[in-house]
Amino acid sequence: MSGEGLSVSFRRTQYTAKSNNELLEEFQKIIYNSRVMKHMKWYGKAHTLDILEHGDDNRQKFEQEYVAIKDTFQFEISVYESWYEDADLYESHEIEDSFVSLARKFANDNALMYFPNGFPAEWIEQEIIDGEKNWNHYNVKPDDKNIDKICDVWYRYGIMKLQAFDEKVESQLWGEARDKIKQLMEHEYAK
């Protein structure tokens, strides 16, 4: 039986008191005593729920990019293909004891930023200039001078999107966040 990996993304704040290892052990206890275990693969207590941290050099380059921003980390689980039978148990913020809901509550309890959409990375936009299609590629650099402000905007966008439950509102929220992030990115390069 094959499967896939799922993850939840966090960033430490100035108020985060526990080490990443302490946070990992606490979140493992929460998940190991939850319904989330239903479709999870067991690799032993230490590795069934694992951590990917900023600066991990024992991981593939593409994995390191997931946590390229300073103070970021992800908790990862491996699940069997059968997880699709209970997808809401892993992906829905509307279910109180889902993987993502437990992660969000955990973040609140531990002064962490929780990113329901992962970390700001890149996007492509189409623009029509003189009747011709042009594509603009935006890439948030992890060492951007304004990365803290960009993460704040992305964090607020992700949390507000969870509360929107309407595609039109979600689209509006994305437009506002995208424009603010572009402005922050442009501000650095305008000097």
Task: With CA atoms as reference, report the closest residue to 145 among 184, 115, 171, 108.
Answer: 184
**Nearest partner of 36 among 130, 126, 103, judged by Cα:** 103
Q: Which pTM does this prediction carry?
A: 0.85
Position 88 pLDDT exceeds 90: yes
pLDDT of residue 4: 86
Q: Measured between alpha carbons, how far is residue 88 from residues 50, 98, 116, 166 in Å?
A: 21, 7, 14, 18
Q: What confidence score (pLDDT) does residue 191 get?
A: 40
User: Residue 187: pLDDT band by 50, 70, 90 thresholds?
Assistant: low
The CB-side HSE value for 86 (13 A sphere, CA atoms) comes to 16
pLDDT of 2 > 60? The answer is no
